[in-house]
Amino acid sequence: MGIDDTSIYHGGYAGLMKFLEKRQRPFQNAANLVPPADTDLKALWDTKVPATTLEFSDTPRHDVRRKYLELQMEFEGAPQILHLHALLIAMSRRDSPPADAMPLFFRMWREEGQALAMALNVRWLISTATTFADCGETGDQRALGMGLSTLFDLVKLHDSERRSTGKPGHEKAKFVRYKRRPPLGLGMPPYSIENGDVDRVLLARLWQLSERDTTIRPLAVRMLRLIMEDEATIFARMQAYKAKE
């Protein structure tokens, strides 16, 4: 019996690594679309992304211009800095990104971090956190980026499964008696929904880490405040279960 014969993902981790390698194939001609390091970032806020006149068939499959076109369609009418920011993130996901791409990404967050954090939607906040996790300039940036991206990815996984039951996110589930509650996977001891503090410790540790790096802090503050304020996630339900009725 092979080591991966019982894996819930076909091929086990070897298969997952092959999947990841395909996604990391470098863009062709990527350096051609990275502007100079001293680009006027303020001006990019005032310039809007124009409508495209191209079709996907006009660009080679692995050429960076296809990703540029895809993002241009997504950010049409938005400030140019958001389009460029997304393009730099896309480059960071691939092997051998252009040498100037990540320095420009970090400059954006040092100089325009607060504005970027407020302008990005949740999808791009998560993608930004993942970029800090993969490419951060400091250990704190990489640790916090990984923590934030994992936090939001797991909320998405958990709450997407719950959504399939038809229950809205803000609605508490009906409890069953302790003796009828099935065990957790991995042999883990269950979290005490009524009295546990794992969720509070998790969020507090991420907030504490955000205070140690000014570059990633605007991103972390925006993401953690979203978790704190949204009443339709697992975190809000955990607090609702603990509330006195």
Non-local (6+) Cβ contacts of 187 within 8 A are none
79 and 151 housed in the same domain: no
* Number of domain units in the chain: 2
Q: What is the pLDDT of residues 171-224, one digit of tens each?
A: 777 776 667 778 888 898 988 888 889 999 999 999 999 999 999 999 999 999
Q: Please name the amino acid found at residue 88.
A: L
Q: Which pTM does this prediction carry?
A: 0.89
- Same domain? For 235 and 124 the reply is yes
Do residue 90 and residue 130 come from a single domain? no
Residue span of the structural domain in which 26 resides: 9-115
pLDDT (average), residues 218-231: 96
Q: Identify whether the C-beta of residue 216 lies closer than 8 Å to the C-beta of residue 223.
A: no
User: How confident is the model over 34-70, as pLDDT tens digits?
Assistant: 999 899 999 999 999 999 887 877 787 788 899 999 9
Both 150 and 47 in one domain: the answer is no
Judged by DSSP in three states, 114 sits in helix
